[in-house]
Amino acid sequence: MSPSGIGIFGALMTGGLLAVNAVAQTAPQSSADLVRYLTYQADRVHPLHLNGCADPKEYRDAAHSLVALGASAVPEIESALRSLQSRGQQMGGAFNSRWLLFAYARIKGTAAYRQFQAMIDNPGLNFLRRDLDNAVAISLGLTSYVSSIRTPETLLHCGVTEPRDTLDDLILAWETNDSGGVEAQLGPNAQAALQFLLAQQSWTDLRTHTWRGTASPNVAVGYRLDVANVWSQPREMLDQAATDARRFVNLDFYPPNPELQAQFTNRAGQVCGHFGIRFLRTEVGLRTKYLVDETNMEGLLTTISVCAAMN
């Protein structure tokens, strides 16, 4: 690792330790106190905000406690979400409110969808759009949900990058007309398939033909992966065992070039297509990544487009 990489890693570890120390206390058990705890309204110093690997276990435990309270926790969570919608980043603990979203999704299920869509459409909540996508995936029982107004992932994933991470980035790049972003997610067979299509037409013509016209600037596509491991689950289920399984991966238990069946949905979670997608495990720098290596790229891109057009 380069000296600069070591410096960044050290800063992340330091920030993570500060965050852990700041919440190293027993979380309260009433819904009101749990919401205050997660949004830093209980005389607590807000730590450096870091997602993913640096999230203290206490956050997940507190959100899980909200889920355990069930419907009785809903009024307190909805009150906090209303404040978040009106105040955005000015609300206390706004950057940590992702845990409220996940707990609300677990408790309300599909009934949380309208609430999340209103929040996704709120420009004051841009900083939460990826978390809102994750919350929609939980509420609709999907592996993942990708709205075109989220930003591309810039941080490394904990553990091995999963097939869903690459598929998410591919869908987002296709939704936003980012040709370079699409190509970056492809293995050699998929690259060859895409180049074959582009030898017959321009990128613009391919987009127009596949989308059957001009795509809306605000679309979303969800999907479920039919596989019997954590790859099928949303990124965050408030399950520490699943979180640990993603962080500490033994690649011997995972195939190097899986073909996964994906059930695609439109923005509202209605099934709109099925597709078997080939992936290829490879090394990208110091990271292991599953690239999309599908030979029928036209079919895959068309399926995504049809589902996006059904919003």
Domain that holds residue 169: 163-309
For the chain, the domain total comes to 2
Residue 63 belongs to some domain of the structure: yes
Q: Are 103 and 168 found together in one domain?
A: no
Residue 151 belongs to some domain of the structure: no
Q: Are 108 and 176 found together in one domain?
A: no
Pick the last residue of a domain from 50, 81, 112: 112
List pLDDT tens digits, range 95-115. 788 999 999 999 999 999 999
Q: Look at residue 130 and tell me whether its pLDDT is greater than 50.
A: yes
Average of per-residue pLDDT across 281-287: 79
pLDDT of residue 20: 38
Residue 258 belongs to some domain of the structure: yes
Q: Are 262 and 201 found together in one domain?
A: yes
pLDDT of residue 13: 36
- Return the number of other C-beta atoms located less than 10 Å from residue 230's C-beta: 20
Higher pLDDT, residue 39 or 304: 304
List pLDDT tens digits, range 176-196. 999 999 999 999 999 999 999
pTM for the structure as a whole = 0.84
List pLDDT tens digits, range 54-63. 567 888 899 9
Torsion angle of alpha carbons 267, 268, 270, 273, nearest 10°? 0
Distance of CA 95 to the CA centre of its chain: 16
Residue 97 belongs to some domain of the structure: yes
Sheet with 220-226: list strands edge to edge. 144-147, 220-226, 259-265, 271-284, 287-292
Average of per-residue pLDDT across 163-168: 94
Residue 145 belongs to some domain of the structure: no
Of 137-141, 170-174, 214-218, minimum mean pLDDT range: 214-218
Confidence of residue 291 (pLDDT cuts 50, 70, 90): very high
Residue 139 belongs to some domain of the structure: no
Q: Look at residue 264 and tell me whether its pLDDT is greater than 80.
A: yes
Alpha carbon separation from 135 to 50, 116, 119 (Å, rounded): 18, 8, 11
Q: Look at residue 43 and tell me whether its pLDDT is greater than 70.
A: no
Residue type, 20: V
Confidence of residue 88 (pLDDT cuts 50, 70, 90): confident
Residue-wise DSSP of 132-158:
HHHHHHHHHT-SEEEETTSPPP-SPPS
